[in-house]
Amino acid sequence: MSQPLWQPSQTEIEATQMHALMQRINREHGIEIRDYSALHAWSVDNLEAFWQLVWEDSDVLADTQGDTVLERPDAMPGARWFPHARLNFAANLLRRRDQHPALIACDERGRRQQLSYAELYDQVAKLAHALRGSGVTAGDRVAGFVPNSEHAIIGMLATASLGAVWSSCSPDFGFNGVLDRFGQIQPKVLIATDGYTWNGKPIDTRERVAQISGAIESLNQVVIFPFLHDEADTHGIDKAVAWHDYLNNAATEIEFDPQPFDHPLYILYSSGTTGAPKCIVHSAGGTLLQHLKEHRLHTDLRADDVLFYYTTCGWMMWNWLVSGLACGATLVLFDGSPFAPAPDVLWSLTEREGITVFGTSAKYIAACEKEGLKPGRSHDLGRLRAVLSTGSALAHESFDYVYRDIKPNLLLASISGGTDIVSCFALGCPIRPVYRGQLQCRGLGMAVDVFDDNGRPLREEKGELVCTRPFPSMPIGFWNDPDNERYRDAYFSTFPGIWAHGDYAEITAEDGLIIHGRSDAVLNPGGVRIGTAEIYRQVEKVEGVLESLCIGQEWGDDLRVVLFVRLQPGVELDDPLRDEIRRTIRTNTSPRHVPARIIQVSDIPRTLSGKIVELAVRNIVHGRPVKNQDALANPEALKLYEDLPELQQ
C-alpha cells in the first residue's frame, strides 16, 4: 500500500461528527464498526437505518417525517424517500436567527458585504413577500441571472420558502445560452444583475437582460439589482423593477410553505455541448439530506466554520455551498477572476476572513503551482483545516503542491459527483488518511462501485463508475420528460436498474477512488482503454506546458491519440519539447498512451463552468457539427482545431 500524505490523529478522529455517528450505530445496533470501510458497508447495507440517522442527527426541521424512510427500495429509478414527510428547504437553512455572520460576499473590485443570519432572514422575508405579490406559488419557477453575490442566495431562499423552484445561470452566459435554459422552464420571475466584473473589466449586462425579458413570455416580473453600478437602471427592460423598490415592504416573517420530500427545489442544467441542455430537477428533501450528510460527516462542518467555494451560480458547487447555512456556518462568496486583482487574491481572502474550509477546482490548484504561489509562506492560513477540489481529476503533483506549499496539516479532499446528483459519489473523509492522487472514499449511503463492460465489479482495475442502490439526491427527473424516457436513457441504459455515471474510474487498494476521465472521452487505440486524465497528468508535468487536451482521431481502421498543448508565453513546440512530452508519457504510463500527433494551440475550449470539452474538439477534428456552442465560455477557440494539416497525414 502507498504511504499517506496526511493522517488524522486519534484525537482528531474522535472529535469528528463521523466518529460520533459510528459510536451511535455501535451502541444502538450492538455491533462494532471500527473504520470507514466498515461504516460505509453498513450504511449501504442498511440504507433506511442510515438515512434515518442522518435525519435525526442533523435535526431536520419538518412538519412531519412519517413512518416510512424508503418506498420501493429496489426501483432504480422509482424509489421514493420519506414519502410522507413534509418540510421546507429554506426553513432548514434559516433556522439560525442571531447576529452571527451568515454571508460575506466579496468580489475582485474589493466589494465586501456582510449579512448576519438575522439580516439574511429579514431580506429573505421581504423578497418572499414581494414574490407572492408577483403571483409566485408552489411549483412556479424563479430564474436567477446572477453573479455569486448575496442577491443570489436571498433569491433562492425566498423562492424555496414559497415551495417554488429556483434555477440560475451566471451572467457570463450569452443570450442564447440563457434562453436555451430558462426558455425551457418558463419562469414567472427573473432576478438579474446589471453587470459584473471579470479580470478588471466591467461588463454591463442590461442589454442582455432586456433581450431575455423580451424573449420569455412567461415572465410576470424582472427584478434588477445593482452590482456593477451604484443604482439599478430598469430603463428599456420590459416588466422590470429595481431590487430596492421591490423589497421595500414591511414583511418581517417568512411563511415557510411545507412540501413533500420530493417536491422540486432546483433545476440544474447539463453542459449542453451536444445539444440543448438537459433540465435536471432536484428535490428539496433529497438535496437537503444529502448536503447535510456531506457537510456534517464528510467535511465535519460546524457552526463556527467559515466555508468558501470558488464557484459561479451556473455550477452545482454553488448549490452545495449554500447548504452550509443549514449547519449555521459562515459562507464566504467571491465573484470575479480567481487571479484578479492579484494572483493570490483567494489566499488573501482566506487569511482575512479566517476561512476554515477552502473549495476550488483542480485547474485552480494547478494554476497556482504554475504561477509559483506559495500561500503557506505568504499568508497566515492558521484557521484553514481542509481544501476541497473538484471539476476534474486532481493530479498527483497537485497533492504534493498542496502539502508542500499550502499547508502540511490539513485534509485535502478531491471530490467527484456532479450536476446530475447535485452532490458527490466520492469525497473527503476526516477519519481516513489522504493518499496521493486518490479521492479518499465513496460517500456514505452511496452504493458506488466500478463495473466492467459485463456489469461485474472491479477492484484495482479501470471501469465504469456506477451506483447500484437508490440515494436521496437522485433527480426527480428531467423537465418536460413526462415518461422519464430521457432520464432513463441518460443514466440507466448501460446497466438496467443501475446508475451509470459516465466516469471512467478505479477503486484502489486503499479503498479510495481514482477518476481517469469521462467514459465518453476514453481513448481506445488498438482496443486498449485509456482515460484522458492519465495523459493530462503526465503532460502537465513538463515545464513550459500550461494545459492540454487529448482526443482519439479515427485513422484507417483504428484510432490514434492526438494531443493539443497550450504552452507558457514565449514557449514554442519544437522537436525537443515533443520528444520530452512523449518520453514523459511513455516512462510513466505505457507506449499505448503516447500521442501520434502533438499540436500547439493558443486556447482550449471550455464550458462556462471551466471543464474542457474533448467531445466538441473531437467533432471539429472529424468535420462534425458542434450543436450548442453557446454552452462554451470561448466558442471561438474551436476554430483553432478546424482543418489542421498535421491531422491529414
- pLDDT greater at residue 183 or residue 271: 183
- pLDDT tens sequence across 101-114: 999 999 999 999 99
pLDDT reading at 132 higher than 90: yes
Decide if 568 is inside a domain. Answer: yes
Cis-peptide into 341, omega within 30 deg = yes
Q: In residues, how long is the chain? A: 649
pLDDT of 633 > 90? The answer is no
Give the confidence band of 1 by pLDDT, cuts at 50, 70, 90: low
User: Is 171 domain-assigned?
Assistant: yes
Average pLDDT in the chain: 95
Q: Cα dihedral sign for 621, 624, 629, 632?
A: negative
In a shared domain, residues 613 and 494: no
Give me the half-sphere count of Cα atoms (radius 13 Å) on the Cβ side of residue 313.
30
Q: Is the N-terminal amide bond of 73 cis, ω within 30° of 0?
A: no
From the list 95, 99, 4, the residue with the least C-alpha distance to 58 is: 95
Look at residue 41 and tell me if it is in a domain.
Answer: no
Cell numbers standing for residue 416: 467527484
How many whole angstroms separate alpha carbon 50 and alpha carbon 444? 9
pLDDT surpassing 90 at residue 632: no
Using DSSP's 3-state secondary structure scheme, residue 486 falls into helix
53 in a domain, yes or no? no
106 and 334 Cβ atoms separated by less than 8 Å: yes
CA distances from 154 to 210, 228, 280 (A): 22, 18, 22
User: Does residue 510 sit in the same domain as residue 535?
Assistant: no
Read off the CATH number of the domain in which 132 is found. 3.40.50.12780
Last residue of a domain, one of 471, 498, 514: 514
Domain-embedded: residue 36: no
Residue 323 lies inside a defined structural domain of this protein: yes
Share of the chain above pLDDT 90, in %: 86
Based on the domain organization, do 564 and 534 belong to the same domain? yes
13 within domain boundaries: no
> Does 498 share its domain with 596?
no
Question: Are residue 436 and residue 548 in the same domain, yes or no?
Answer: no
In a domain, 457, yes or no: yes
Residues 439 and 537 in one domain: no
Which residues share a beta bridge with 189? 142, 221
Q: Are residues 284 and 250 in the same domain?
A: yes
Out of 469, 497, 514, pick the residue that ends a domain: 514
CA–CA separation, 91 and 62 (whole Å): 9
Q: What is the pLDDT of residue 649?
A: 81
Do both 268 and 387 map to the same domain?
Answer: yes
Q: Where are the beta strands (DSSP E) in 57-150?
A: 70-71, 80-81, 86-87, 101-107, 112-116, 141-145
Could you check whether the bond before residue 171 is cis, i.e. omega within 30 degrees of 0?
A: no
Q: Which of 487, 514, 541 is the last residue of a domain?
A: 514
Q: Is the pLDDT of residue 272 over 70?
A: no
Q: What is residue 632's DSSP assignment?
A: B
| Count of structural domains, the chain | 2
Picking from 264-268, 283-287, 392-396, which range would have the lowest pLDDT averaged per residue?
A: 392-396
CATH of the domain at 627: 3.30.300.30
Q: What's the rounded Cα separation, in Å, for the pair 372 and 600? A: 23
Q: Do residue 492 and residue 458 come from a single domain?
A: yes
pLDDT digits (tens, 9 = 90+) for 431-442: 999 999 999 999
pLDDT higher than threshold 70 for residue 522? yes
Instruction: Say yes or no: 478 and 605 in one domain.
Output: no
Shared domain check, 280 and 140 = yes
pLDDT number for residue 289:
98
525 plus 624 within the same structural domain:
yes
Report how far residue 196's alpha carbon sits from residue 146's, in angstroms, rounded to the nearest whole number. Answer: 9
What range defines the domain where residue 333 resides?
A: 86-514
